[in-house]
Structure 1
Amino acid sequence: MRKFMKLIDLSHTFGLGMPVFPGDEKASLVEVATVKKDGYTNYQLKAGMHVGTHIDAPLHFISEGKKISDFSLEHFYGSAKVIDVRGKYDIDVDSLKNIEITRGDIVLFFTGHDQFYGKHEYFIDHPILTETLACALIERGIKMVGIDAPSPDKYPFPLHKLFLKHDILILENLTNLESLSNKNFELFAFPIKFETDAAFVRTIAKLE
């Protein structure tokens, strides 16, 4: 008998009016051809790589760092854990108590901040990870870290530089993490193979 498999979408919808980081140019998604007028439909996209649910590669903060296209497929999926840190603003190493993390794991932080996605406060007042926590994750050998907020840190983005220096990819603007607390699952976060510092990603959790 086949095991029941459930897929959970952890990505925000990509479309007109989607929020962008303060100072970034708004994303533009324009219908440039229609079936009625042209016999086919076509859209044109203009957007920075850091809109919506996306993944950061080392080039984002490291000169001559690796691009998204430099990573193997294996780097974008694996065993994952969600750590429930709701109600915390500075998320410290204490959040790892009783959490078993092995080398190659993907660790996601469920802050609940995605409820503000699309509102002004989403980018201004969001939870962050501490450097102590980041160092603990690096020591445990994770390959990817994610959060349901715009970033795991704030300007001048020290944790970005720390994670990316160790080839730990960063998933930002996640959603729907509440359904994954205390569950074992596989995460798939395959980006488009851009030769860039980041890329849009459809992030999916697979539960069995």
Structure 2
Amino acid sequence: MSQLIDLSHTYTANMPVWPGDVEPQLTEISSVAKDGVCCHMVRSSLHVGTHIDAPMHMIADGKPLSEIPIDRFMGRGFLIDAREKTKIDTDLLEKSLIEKGDILLIHTGFDRKFGQPEYYETFPPITENFAHQVVERGVKMVGLDCPSPDYPPFLTHKILLGKEVLIIENMTGLENLIGVKNFEVIALPVRFESDGSPARVVARIS
């Protein structure tokens, strides 16, 4: 029997955002007691909480999320433990058994700092060389438990998205996959015609 591990932050009003981004609002506009039905309204950037970046986010004429085939959002998972690293570099790939079509998850441990200033200021970035190797190996999606794969000017973003390697940001709970040999990642976004979307990301352990 398979086990599901939730790798997503709970979406809440006023949850942390990338500096300068719009703070989310999750507002109750009707209630069961008063109106007979409860309904909420969301006002938010699409890059808040656990979410997926589409090529359109950084690439001129890049595809919106709505044009990405559904099978790109699920696949065999592979975890790299990078908790002791100040940057994500190619040494982490030397002995890895990543295969074409895999979804690569990078565990930095920074999800413990979600909501603190250092979460956005000191996370370990992915190097350009690492990104190029990921592309060469045919990885279809990269996910991290920190806010971004890199800092401005976002060259790593552009390397990955330029080759339609999708990016999951602000994951959590990756420590639950340490030592797990076989798992599937399912990261389903809303089908927005846009540059990204919040997503419920889970790992299914066989």
Q: Which amino acid aligns with 1:201?
A: A
Question: Quick check: 45-54 or 180-189, which moved more?
Answer: 180-189
Question: Is residue 58 of structure 2 the alignment partner of residue 61 of structure 1?
Answer: yes
Q: Which amino acid aligns with 2:100?
A: R
Question: Quick check: 53-62 or 120-129, which moved more?
Answer: 120-129
**1:83 maps to which residue?**
80
**2:118 maps to which residue?**
121
Q: Which amino acid aligns with 1:109?
A: I
Q: Which amino acid aligns with 2:203?
A: A
Q: TM-score, normalised by structure 1?
A: 0.97
**1:142 maps to which residue?**
139
Instruction: State the distance in 2 between where 1:205 and 1:14 align.
Output: 19
User: Among residues 31, 35, 39, which one is paired with 1:38 in the alignment?
Assistant: 35
Instruction: State the distance in 1 between where 2:98 and 2:78 align.
Output: 8
CA deviation after TM superposition for structure 1 residue 195, in Å: 0.3
Question: Is residue 167 of structure 2 the alignment partner of residue 170 of structure 1?
Answer: yes
**1:7 maps to which residue?**
4
Q: TM-score, normalised by structure 2?
A: 0.98
**1:98 maps to which residue?**
95
CA deviation after TM superposition for structure 1 residue 182, in Å: 2.9
Identity among equivalent positions (%) equals 45
Give the SS at the match of 1:90.
Answer: coil
* Structure 2: gaps spanning 5 or more residues: none
Give the 4+ runs in structure 1 shifted more than 3 A: none
**Number of residue pairs matched?**
205
Instruction: State the distance in 1 between where 2:88 and 2:32 align.
Output: 50
CA deviation after TM superposition for structure 1 residue 181, in Å: 1.8
Instruction: State the distance in 1 between where 2:82 and 2:169 align.
Output: 16
Instruction: State the distance in 1 between where 2:95 and 2:178 align.
Output: 14
Root-mean-square deviation over aligned CA pairs: 0.7
* Structure 1: gaps spanning 5 or more residues: none
**1:201 maps to which residue?**
199
Q: Which amino acid aligns with 1:192?
A: V
Give the SS at the match of 1:206.
Answer: strand
CA deviation after TM superposition for structure 1 residue 77, in Å: 0.1
